[in-house]
Amino acid sequence: MAGFKAAFIIEAIKLLKKKKIIAAAILSIFAVVIGQIAVTAIKHGLGLRVAGSTEFPFLVLSIFSYTILPLFATFVAIDMFSGEFSSNTMKITLTRPVSRFGVFSAKVLNLALFICSNLVFVMILSLLAGFLFNMSSVSLLGFVRVVLSYMATFFPVFVFSLLVVLLSNLLRGGLAVFFLAIIAFIAFNFLDIVFSSYSSFFITSMFDWYTLWISESINVYKILRQVLIMLGCGIMLFTAGYYLFDRKDI
């Protein structure tokens, strides 16, 4: 346990020291600012109301969850595994008194924290932007729905990043993992359209499952089914990723 704690802190410090986290933050700010400018321009130019104060974060989330968030989660996952394997820095941690399971879990937990903090950051930004530009439509229920939808978005993105972790332990090059992750992302979205009845099995189709949580009538069974599918996929991907990581010769 002591080894895990040390590995977890080390991974967190490494993540904070890298430029990717700054790039993710800057791009997130850009996304929110550009979104708000577009909404305001349409409102004043064409007279159309696109989004109110608590609706704006949903608009941001619908774009953010399919672009910047999975992209940077992929970058971070590749960096944590493929990047460290190719730069030979993986052995720094692996030759310390900590089990491989401890190192793997510490990395995955940090990946989860990255996704979580990125979502929280964008949520706060979009809420602030929404409140500033559309003060009139503020409501507590709206705020709760925003928090709930951002929280819900974490799970599918995290499961997708576990797929990237698996690929990072399967393939040698980071670039190959990146392209394969992109192909998987596109393929899942395509398959989601073609085989819509099986869409729950294509994890990217669940990036917008937050809509289930905030709809007028909540479909508990559908939510439960999605949760179980995500949980199953998550456990399988984590286990497969760890199996490869544990067997890897450095």
Query: Helices (DSSP H) in the chain: which residue ranges?
Result: 2-17, 19-45, 56-64, 68-78, 84-86, 90-94, 100-133, 140-170, 174-194, 210-214, 220-247
Assess 48 for contact with another protein (CB under 8 A): no
As measured in angstroms, the least distance from the Cβ of 150 to another protein is 30
First-to-final CA distance of the chain: 23
CA distance 172 to 115: 24
CA distance 242 to 250: 15
Q: Does 97 contact another protein by CB under 8 A? A: yes
Q: Contact with another protein (CB under 8 A): which of 46, 47, 216, 247?
A: 247
Locus of tokens 């998550």: 234
| 3-class secondary structure, 47 | coil
Binder among 22, 33, 38, 92 for another protein (CB under 8 A): 92
Distance (Å, whole) CA 163 – CA 156: 11
CB of 87 to another protein, least distance (A): 8
- Applying CB under 8 A, which of residues 94, 147, 191, 229 lies at the interface with another protein? 94
Q: Which region, judged by CB under 8 A, interacts with another protein, from 20-28, 57-65, 82-90, 228-236? A: 82-90
99 binds another protein (CB under 8 A): yes
Cβ neighbours of 22 (radius 10 Å): 10
Report residue 101: phi and psi, to 5°.
-65, -40
Exactly one of 44, 47, 95, 141 binds another protein (CB under 8 A); that residue is: 95
Total site size for another protein, rule CB under 8 A? 25
Measure the CA–CA gap between 198 and 173, rounded to whole angstroms: 32
- Which CB atom, from 15 or from 152, has the smaller least distance to another protein? 15
Q: Which of residues 14-43 bind another protein (CB under 8 A)?
A: 14, 17-18
On whether the CB atoms of residues 203 and 156 are closer than 8 A, the answer is yes
The reply to whether 243 sits near another protein by the rule CB under 8 A is no
- The CB-of-241 to another protein minimum distance in angstroms stands at 17
Q: At what angle do helices 2-17 and 100-133 cross, to 10 degrees?
A: 50
Q: Per CB under 8 A, does 89 bind another protein?
A: yes
**d(Cα 181, Cα 78) in Å, to the nearest integer?**
10
Instruction: Provide the 8-state DSSP code for 208.
Output: G
228 contributes a contact to another protein by CB under 8 A: no
**Per CB under 8 A, does 44 bind another protein?**
no
3 binds another protein, rule: CB under 8 A: yes
If the CB atoms of residues 86 and 137 are measured against another protein, the closer one turns out to be 86
- Give residues in contact with another protein (CB under 8 A): 2-3, 6-7, 9-10, 13-14, 17-18, 87-89, 91-92, 94-100, 247, 249-250
